[in-house]
Amino acid sequence: MDELVVGTYEGFLLGYSVYSENTDKKLKQTFATQSHTAAVRCVSAVGKYMASGGTDDKVVVIDLKTRKEHTVLMNHDGTINAVAFTHSGTHLLTGSDDGSIIVTRTGNWQIEKKWKKAHGGQPVIALAVHPSDKLALSIGGDKTLRTWNLIKGRPAFTINLASKGVTMPTEIMFSPGGDRFSLVSQQTVDVWTISKAGVEKRITCNSKPTSVQWISDEILIVGLENGNIVALTLSDTQAQTYAAHRQRVKSLYFENNTLYTVSSSGELKVWLVAGSKLNEICSTNAGCRVTCLTLNRQNHLVKKEEHIDEEGTVENGESDDANSVESDEDVEKESPPLKRKPGAFVTISYNSDDGKEECTPPVMKKSKKRKRNKKQK
């Protein structure tokens, strides 16, 4: 089963897996690391990498095969509020209180784009990457919704959220199909439709909404400040409420008919989802104040004989080359590197932008360069 990974206010990243004991399901801790010196604010995972951002201004990249620190990016001058990998795993987008959005290429961890004043110099609150990887959305302290063209590497358009009746936006999330996205604000969850370029439905909650997960293009789950979670279908007016936690729901994550929920008290729960019906499978308490949540889908790549040492670090986590995220074929496809103009950073197209912004390399650990055969004269 997939591995649940949570970030905490105390700076820890904790991993948990579901296991069977007799006829019951239980959560057990699989690893623990404290790469941050302050609270973890956000976390994202794709393939073999997981990135977390915190109030220590750092983006820490973890290798999920070994559960060890891979590199640290120190490119922002403020709290990291959002980290989001592209779905193809080629790039990492980060947003910060310093007002910038930075796009970093995975692997060599070089900056390929930086919007220094993405929201007019105001903090970047949240980011979401479209399933196609062609565009991204961001919300900021200037109360605007901005669209970023990930093919051309430049901003596309801006919407003033105040004109739409949206106050204090906190989270943005695409639906699985990508035509809809949810926008969480002070007391409402707005469902927007890209094809219609506007709000399709406004959901008013009896408690402040904190997080949203799409079960399908029609069904979504909303976590609330009072600890409840609400399951609703867009075509219906009725919503089903579950008393999930005693304290605020901090984050939700849905994958493979399974919903993971965490609360500010440190409680973690796993739910089986059937349509809009939820059935609790198991729960545990992290003993820390949980702030964010993601899923390690590559848990099967870690050898079963690995063990957790006294510090909570999983050792001997070598992977099977046959199941490796980066196969030999993938490496061959990447080499030789594509020639592209500055500003274009998504591998869909590189010849449609004439961006002139220069990028400086990030401060991080040095990576080994591949040896190239010298050309014969």
Rounded Cα distance between 181 and 163, Å, is: 18
Task: Tell me the pLDDT tens digit for each residue of 110-142.
Answer: 999 999 999 999 999 999 999 999 999 999 999
Cα-to-chain-centroid distance, residue 59: 12
By mean pLDDT, which of 162-166, 177-181, 367-371 is the weakest? 367-371
Sequence ranges of the domains in the chain: 3-334
Global pTM reads: 0.79
Q: What 3-state class would DSSP assign to 232? A: strand
Given a cut of 70, is residue 186 above it in pLDDT?
Answer: yes
- Rounded average pLDDT over 139-150: 95
Given a cut of 60, is residue 87 above it in pLDDT?
Answer: yes
Give the pLDDT confidence score for residue 21 in this predicted structure.
84
Q: Which residues in 295-334 are b (16+ Cβ under 10 Å) and which e? A: bbbbbebbeeeeebeeebbbeebebeeeeebeeeeeeeee
Rounded Cα distance between 216 and 92, Å, is: 25
Task: Tell me the pLDDT tens digit for each residue of 30-77.
Answer: 999 999 999 999 999 999 999 999 999 999 999 998 888 999 999 999
Decide if 89 contacts 105 (C-beta within 8 A): no
Given a cut of 60, is residue 81 above it in pLDDT?
Answer: yes
Give the pLDDT confidence score for residue 301 in this predicted structure.
54
For the chain, give the mean pLDDT: 82
Decide if 247 contacts 228 (C-beta within 8 A): no
Give the pLDDT confidence score for residue 196 in this predicted structure.
77
Give the pLDDT confidence score for residue 314 in this predicted structure.
37
**Long-range contact pairs involving 350-353 (C-beta distance under 8 Å, separation at least 24):** 352/151, 352/152, 353/151, 353/152, 353/153, 353/154
> Among residues of the chain, what percentage have pLDDT more than 90?
68
In the CATH hierarchy, which fold is given to the domain comprising 3-334?
Answer: Methylamine Dehydrogenase; Chain H (2.130.10)
Identify residue 153 by its one-letter amino acid code: G
